[in-house]
């Protein structure tokens, strides 16, 4: 039983974006109408609404095969926690939890699916990539698949590897959360991702050279990344939330704290 000091102090007026997914699945082998889109598993439905976790304190386990990367994973979880009202704790008996497993590449289901929800980490998954996958697990989709993306980028389908086109399909997903398009989001692809000929798969209409240069970066969580995650989990400026009464318990008053947006020690990776 969680000993919550105080769950909510004010009646917030934040918009509610929560919903339910049409289908749940437990295994990466249960394809059905789900597709692997780059680093995420998502239903082949362009109007899909992603389901958020039903708790703000999410349990996790780390496979023994990733023992040498435990500190890196914990730091990534800490980064996500530091910019949101979502906390993480080591699993005891929880039915729903994140399971970090060793794999060849980086991948995650999108949003809450329940039970043993795996996050796959390969040798190439550095700090920024791990944060990227945790964002997926919490319900955040790729920025470049937003329905309003054509105002900011053009996808050059003729340069995309065969079979990878779905990675660039626009999704009519509601968790854009009415926030501005973020070209340098940690959830955005870079210019040459899945290129079949060395030419760009994404070009931008934005004139800001820094944004163009850092599009696809995996070394920093942007302010908009944090803002979207906080909106997704109703971390309103008027809300007071708490963690379980454990040795690491603490209370955050979001109308008083200023969030830190850390840079990672790794260079951008595609």
136-145 pLDDT tens trace: 999 998 999 9
Q: Is 234 annotated as a binding residue?
A: no
Q: Is 142 annotated as a binding residue?
A: yes
**Which H or E run contains 86?**
none
Instruction: State the pLDDT at residue 166.
Output: 86
Domain ranges within the chain, ordered by starting residue: 34-233
Q: Is 132 annotated as a binding residue?
A: yes
- The CA distance from 148 to 137, in Å, is 23
Answer with the residue of higher pLDDT: 25 or 104: 104
CATH 3.40.390.10 fits 34-233, yes or no: yes
Catalytic residues: 133
Alpha carbon 226 to its chain centroid, in Å, reads: 10
- Quote the DSSP letter at residue 255: T
Digit-coded pLDDT (tens) for 87-132: 999 999 999 999 999 999 899 999 999 999 999 999 999 999 999 9
Q: 103 near 130, Cβ under 8 Å?
A: no
Instruction: State the pLDDT at residue 49.
Output: 53
Q: 263 near 220, Cβ under 8 Å?
A: yes
Alpha carbon 183 to its chain centroid, in Å, reads: 15
């Amino acid at each position: 039983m969680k000993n919550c000091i105080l769950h909510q102090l004010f009646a917030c007026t934040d918009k509610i974006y929560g919903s339910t997914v049409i289908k749940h699945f437990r295994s990466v082998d249960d394809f059905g109408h789900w597709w692997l889109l780059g680093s995420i598993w998502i239903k082949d439905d362009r109007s899909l609404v992603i389901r958020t976790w039903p708790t703000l304190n999410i349990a996790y386990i780390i496979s023994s095969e990733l023992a040498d990367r435990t500190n890196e994973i914990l730091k990534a979880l800490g980064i996500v926690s530091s910019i949101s009202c979502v906390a993480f704790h080591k699993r005891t008996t929880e039915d729903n939890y994140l399971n970090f497993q060793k794999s060849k590449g980086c991948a995650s289901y999108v949003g809450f699916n329940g039970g043993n929800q795996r996050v796959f980490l390969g040798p190439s998954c550095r700090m920024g990539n791990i944060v990227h996958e945790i964002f997926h697990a919490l319900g955040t989709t790729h920025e470049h698949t937003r329905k309003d993306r054509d105002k900011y980028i053009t996808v050059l389908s003729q340069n995309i590897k065969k079979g990878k086109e779905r990675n660039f399909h626009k999704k009519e997903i509601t968790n854009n959360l009415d926030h501005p398009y973020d070209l340098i989001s940690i959830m955005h692809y870079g210019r040459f991702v899945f290129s079949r000929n060395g030419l760009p798969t994404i070009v931008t209409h934005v004139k800001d050279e820094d944004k163009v240069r850092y599009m696809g970066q995996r070394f920093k969580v942007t302010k908009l990344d944090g803002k979207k995650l906080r909106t997704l989990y109703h971390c309103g400026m008027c809300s007071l939330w708490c963690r379980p009464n454990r040795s690491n318990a603490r209370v955050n008053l979001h109308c008083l704290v200023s969030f830190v947006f850390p840079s990672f020690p790794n260079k951008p990776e595609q």
